[in-house]
């Protein structure tokens, strides 16, 4: 686990350096921010649409991204094993809360940095005779590699290739480690925890190798899921995030829910999202998170009441008392995150006007950036 955490930290530093260098060189070749507004469709500067609801083939509207995004990130940071293993490796509960707070506060600026870099390079693509607009439009994931190979000096090309590989490795290493850990624990549980340390290590390595091959196999079909890798990842994740979050909430907040009811609810939630994917494509996939959550809750309650003759009841978040102050509700962190959320909404809603103001101001020289 320590190796995964340290590797992720180093890779993050390389990635941020690569993003800054790409943005700086793109701005240098553009000659200023005003060129971005001149070359790109004005719709690119509207971060969110209030007229799209995600139910008739329209995508990336305010409501589906607000509610679907809340469920997606709550499930990702609260239930995903890749995140849980990092949080559980913290030295105490206070460090855990600080880690989650840092995730909540720093995630948005990081995404904004990605988007600004993409806008700068996208504008350069429209101006550059060396980059194929039609090819990049067909395969958007190739835009950054083509820019790096065409415009950056050779020493930086190697560094940024490492940054791209680091970005992939930072995800894959934690994913494979998580899958291996869960698989090994499940097999050990089935065997009654009778595995020796030697067999435990061998099984862990074998399961990591198998999962790596499975991931490699599925990667060949990623292009058929969505136009970009990041959208494909979140689309597949949205099929599971809502049902998984609902299952965790049932265990934490509901008394006397049956295990079979929770399992049936989980399967029903995933099955419903799979049905929507295959047969109701006009429903935007961000809504799958909410639909899966509600379906899992509904089926779990119905099964527990009708089949298992139980009376489930909400109890709220149950906290133990053995940790002392660590069991208290983290109100300070919650308030900070709510304030940050308000700031984020303000920036998103006003992004179009903010960009207009930036491009109307005196040009930023290349020397100031580089």
pLDDT average, residue stretch 330-358? 71
CB 182, CB 189: distance < 8 Å: no
**Token digits for 146?**
């083509």
DSSP secondary structure of 26-75: HHHHHTSTHHHHHHS-GGGG---BSS--SSSS--SBHHIIIIIHHHHHHH
User: pLDDT per residue over 159-168, tens digit each?
Assistant: 888 777 776 7
At 297 the pLDDT is: 95
Confidence of residue 31 (pLDDT cuts 50, 70, 90): confident
At 288 the pLDDT is: 97
Which of 176-180, 301-305, 321-325, 342-346: highest mean pLDDT? 301-305
Examine the pLDDT at 68 and tell me if it is beyond 80: yes
At 325 the pLDDT is: 42
pLDDT average, residue stretch 33-40? 76
Domain positions in the chain are 2-52+59-220+319-369
Q: Cα separation of 30 and 28, whole Å?
A: 6
As a whole number of angstroms, the longest Cα–Cα distance in the chain is: 72
Buried b (16+ CB within 10 A) or exposed e, 346-357: eebeebbeebee
Q: Which residue, among 177, 171, 287, has the nearest Cα to 235 in the 3D structure? A: 287
Among 16-30, 193-207, 333-347, the range scoring the smallest mean pLDDT is 333-347
Confidence of residue 30 (pLDDT cuts 50, 70, 90): confident
3-state secondary structure 97-115: HHHHHHHHHHHHHHHHHHH
DSSP 225: T
Among 153-167, 236-250, 276-290, 352-366, the range scoring the smallest mean pLDDT is 352-366
At 335 the pLDDT is: 82
Q: Cα separation of 101 and 117, whole Å?
A: 25
pLDDT average, residue stretch 334-352? 75
At 243 the pLDDT is: 97
Confidence of residue 328 (pLDDT cuts 50, 70, 90): very low
The predicted model scores a pTM of 0.80
DSSP 141: G
Among 30-34, 65-69, 228-232, 309-313, the range scoring the smallest mean pLDDT is 30-34
Q: Cα separation of 82 and 79, whole Å?
A: 9
Q: How far apart are the first and last CA of the chain?
A: 37
pLDDT average, residue stretch 22-42? 82
CA distance readout (Å), 15 to 8, 11, 90, 110, 174: 10, 6, 23, 11, 16
CB 240, CB 76: distance < 8 Å: no
């Amino acid at each position: 686990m320590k190796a995964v955490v340290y590797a992720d930290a180093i890779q993050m530093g390389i990635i941020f350096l690569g993003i800054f260098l790409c943005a700086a060189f793109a701005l240098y070749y553009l000659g200023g921010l005003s060129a971005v507004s001149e070359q790109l469709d004005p719709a690119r500067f509207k971060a969110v649409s209030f007229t799209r609801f995600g139910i008739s083939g329209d995508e990336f509207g305010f409501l589906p991204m607000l509610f679907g995004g809340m469920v997606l990130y709550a499930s990702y940071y609260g239930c995903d094993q890749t995140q849980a293993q990092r949080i559980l490796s913290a030295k105490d509960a206070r460090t855990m809360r600080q880690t989650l707070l840092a995730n909540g506060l720093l995630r948005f600026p990081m995404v904004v940095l990605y988007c600004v870099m993409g806008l700068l390079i996208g504008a350069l693509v429209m101006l550059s005779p060396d980059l194929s607009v039609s090819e990049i439009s067909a395969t958007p994931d190739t835009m950054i590699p083509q820019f790096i190979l065409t415009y950056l000096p050779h020493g930086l090309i190697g560094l940024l290739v490492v940054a791209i590989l680091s970005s992939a490795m930072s995800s894959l290493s934690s994913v494979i480690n998580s899958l291996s850990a869960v698989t090994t624990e499940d097999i050990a549980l089935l065997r009654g925890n009778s595995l020796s340390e030697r067999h435990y290590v061998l099984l862990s390595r074998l399961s990591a190798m198998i999962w790596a091959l499975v991931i490699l196999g599925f990667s060949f079909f990623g292009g058929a899921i969505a136009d970009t890798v990041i959208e494909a990842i979140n689309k597949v994740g949205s099929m599971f995030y809502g049902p998984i979050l609902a299952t965790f909430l049932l265990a934490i907040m509901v008394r006397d829910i049956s295990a079979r009811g929770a399992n049936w609810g989980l399967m029903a939630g995933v099955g419903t999202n799979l049905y929507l994917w295959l047969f109701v494509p006009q429903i935007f996939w961000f809504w799958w998170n909410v639909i899966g959550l509600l379906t899992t809750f509904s089926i779990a309650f119905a099964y527990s009441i009708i089949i298992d003759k139980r009376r489930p009841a909400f109890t709220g978040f149950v906290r133990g008392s053995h940790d002392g102050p660590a069991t208290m509700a983290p109100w300070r962190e919650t308030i900070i995150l709510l304030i940050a959320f308000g700031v984020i909404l303000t920036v998103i809603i006003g992004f179009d006007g903010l960009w207009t103001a930036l491009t109307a101001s005196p040009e930023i020289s290349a020397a100031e950036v580089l």
